[in-house]
Amino acid sequence: MDTALLLGLLVLLCCFRGSRISADEDDYPSAQLVQCRMCHLQFPGEKCSRGRGLCVATMEEACITGKIFKKDGGLWLTFRGCLKNCANVSGIRWSIYSVTLWCCRGYDLCNEDL
């Protein structure tokens, strides 16, 4: 695995965490704390290899599932966790990869099967 690519992923996630993305309250109807599935690294066909567990999304956060696709469209990596200012996005270009993020907050472990 290329360490530079993983560091780039962290930078990408920090950009989302630091940027101000507005979300309507209707997007996340529950104002309670929500438990989210967490996994920092999961490759296709494998179990979670790093960061497996649960996190608690505060009222400013949501559960997230992110998928990174290779240039040919094949899945390369999945990650899950809690993220502040989460926004659903699809097809963000990142070098030779494409990144898609799904956010949810409706119920505990809502990001488990996204």
Question: What domains appear along the chain, each with residue ranges and CATH number?
Answer: 32-114 (2.10.60.10)
The predicted-structure confidence for 60-109, as pLDDT tens digits, reads as follows: 999 999 999 999 999 999 999 999 999 999 999 999 999 999 999 999 99
User: Is the Cα torsion angle 21, 26, 92, 45 positive or negative in sign?
Assistant: positive
What's the pLDDT score for residue 8?
57
Residue with tokens 């930078």: 11
What's the pLDDT score for residue 17?
42
What's the pLDDT score for residue 32?
86
pTM of the model: 0.72
CA-CA distance, 26 to 15, in Å (whole number)? Answer: 24
Question: Does the pLDDT value for residue 25 go beyond 50?
Answer: no
